[in-house]
Chain A
């Protein structure tokens, strides 16, 4: 029992740790620009390299306390300040960091540049876990970004599948154009009369309930069989013949007669409790004791004595 408690405590610690890591682990390096001569400007009116992060989750992620680095031997190179409301990245939104080596300019200015970097690391707040790592493509033309074709999707090396030289830069916004057509509009275009939806949906409803019906038919068979086995065993112990009658063998009228008889018996013997039309057949495991009564655990109401 004691061991079981330890295991439970351990499990909850592991779960809570993984939850916090899970949130930050939803962040991805999404796009970067190495040489910026005529592209997006920062708040100081300057054009510099930038790194865009993307929150792939559907919950807000606070990246305060996480790290950005370009050095595998110093993963804590730039600590993203804690307590800045802007580091709370909303669901499916972006954060843009300027790689201008001017950290004194604010939270979103890191202390290295991309021209001097081969790799960019986004590191968890524990300072050890690398959440995302990409190799910097140095041969990009000026003012051309390299990024994920679709936000947050693709390999975690900054190359290969899901990465491409972007047709246009998209700092702090979606890499692929957002689909303007809503699900409802698309459904209307594909299925203006509703037949496809009706057939699909009804098939799914039937499928779900048929699976459930099959499973419970199986369980019912097992349960009935076990019940019969128990009854046979009990009868064998008493030295009687195994009972053959099943619940179905009795008519509804028989059940009604039994219920009425019980009701009358309880009424006549004044064994009726406070619930009308309810027969309570409950085993009282522990009799009342003032020591187990909660009322004795309550503090007495103070009374003024004169």
Chain B
């Protein structure tokens, strides 16, 4: 009888209940909120549901040494986490993004590329503020990339520059990407006049297949020669797009934008969520990162919209750009473009901006990958 009791006491010590403290409960609550937002509000469900559940998995109080925790070398979760730590999930996701992205809007109106460049001010604005808050340049660079509104890029860069902050940065990046429809519209409305919001843009011209094939090849060569450190992301993005546009690799393109990206999204979501173990995540720096993340989105949106207004000064009447697509320079594809469209329709029911906004939106993907390459080159 005494042995049974001893065993039961010992078993109790192994359980999550015995090892639990309020920090774990807070994190589990955050995980549940993510799942709620994903399912009920449908805010980026493909990301928030895996991350939310990952947060719960990662915050089950463990008896140390069981070889199951994500930070315990050799555990299953740790092996899956290698894709995040060593940075090979993000390029695979970029392959899928490339295979599902239609660059036609951008090719038909190449000047929209510049809006994608302007929105990258969000990254470097947040970088400067992070430095002022006492983060090191490497940490500031990893935090700043949240402003690129690109989860895989944020994970890729933070795994190299500030692995300790990666969990907070990834969760922050994905959370704000989900909140794009909430963050961006007030800024867009604040910075534009009624007349500007009603600008109707020319319908994009039809783009030939030859142009679509040339784009990923030349785009890669140009950007990679300028920023070789962005090679993994840029290479996979443009390669994926070539698979899509070549017309002869349909099966590969379908795998890249279908099963492959789905598998990697599941793995990246769950493992990033898992990496937010309470003892690693609930720190003062995480709160600062969340605040800086929000700020970086605000700066990116502001600069995107203001840049279009500035650009319009040099464009002829009839060629002007609606500044409501300036927000799409951040690379949250296609949410930011959808926001442009929604806000545009609020003021003119016949002004569909979606196709126009897709141009700067995909330019933002290229821009944020280039920016990540620059940060990596300077700080890694």
B113 CB within 8 Å of chain A: yes
**Cβ contact within 8 Å between B107 and A247:** no
**Cβ contact within 8 Å between B379 and A187:** yes
Partner of A205, one of B137, B140, B352, B367: B367
Q: With the chains together, A187 CA to B117 CA distance in Å?
A: 23
State whether A248 and B203 are in contact (beta carbons under 8 Å apart), knowing that A201-B375, A204-B370, A212-B219 are contacts in the complex: yes
B208 CB within 8 Å of chain A: yes
A249 CB to closest chain B CB (Å) equals: 9
Residues of the B chain whose Cβ atoms lie less than 8 Å from the Cβ of A184: 136-138, 161, 379
**Cβ contact within 8 Å between A246 and B205:** yes
Partner of B370, one of A188, A208, A215, A255: A208
Q: With the chains together, A296 CA to B116 CA distance in Å?
A: 51
How many residue-residue contacts, CB under 8 A, span A and B? 136
Interface string of A170-185 (1 = CB under 8 A from B): 0000000000001111
**Cβ contact within 8 Å between B371 and A197:** no
A104 CB within 8 Å of chain B: no
**Cβ contact within 8 Å between B128 and A216:** no
B263 CB within 8 Å of chain A: no
State whether A223 and B219 are in contact (beta carbons under 8 Å apart), knowing that A188-B136, A247-B205, A255-B203 are contacts in the complex: no
Q: With the chains together, A209 CA to B369 CA distance in Å?
A: 12
**Cβ contact within 8 Å between A198 and B367:** no
State whether A187 and B223 are in contact (beta carbons under 8 Å apart), knowing that A198-B128, A206-B117, A217-B110 are contacts in the complex: no
Q: Which of A191, A211, A212 has the most CB of B within 10 A?
A: A212
Residues of the B chain whose Cβ atoms lie less than 8 Å from the Cβ of A255: 203
B210 CB within 8 Å of chain A: yes
**Cβ contact within 8 Å between A251 and B128:** no
**Cβ contact within 8 Å between B205 and A248:** yes
Residues of the B chain whose Cβ atoms lie less than 8 Å from the Cβ of A217: 110-111
A66 CB to closest chain B CB (Å) equals: 30
A136 CB to closest chain B CB (Å) equals: 39
Residues of the A chain whose Cβ atoms lie less than 8 Å from the Cβ of B208: 223, 227
**Cβ contact within 8 Å between B127 and A198:** yes
B182 CB within 8 Å of chain A: no
Query: 10 additional contacts, CB 8 Å, given A200-B374, A209-B116, A216-B215?
Result: A194-B140, A202-B124, A205-B371, A209-B117, A209-B363, A209-B366, A210-B117, A212-B366, A220-B110, A252-B203
Residues of chain B touching chain A, judged by Cβ–Cβ distance below 8 Å, are 106-108, 110-111, 113-114, 116-117, 120-121, 123-125, 127-128, 131-132, 136-138, 140, 161, 202-203, 205-208, 210-211, 214-215, 218-219, 222-223, 226-227, 350, 352, 363, 366-367, 370-371, 374-375, 378-380
Q: List 9 A-B contacts (CB under 8 A).
A: A188-B137, A194-B124, A194-B132, A194-B137, A195-B128, A198-B125, A209-B116, A223-B208, A250-B203
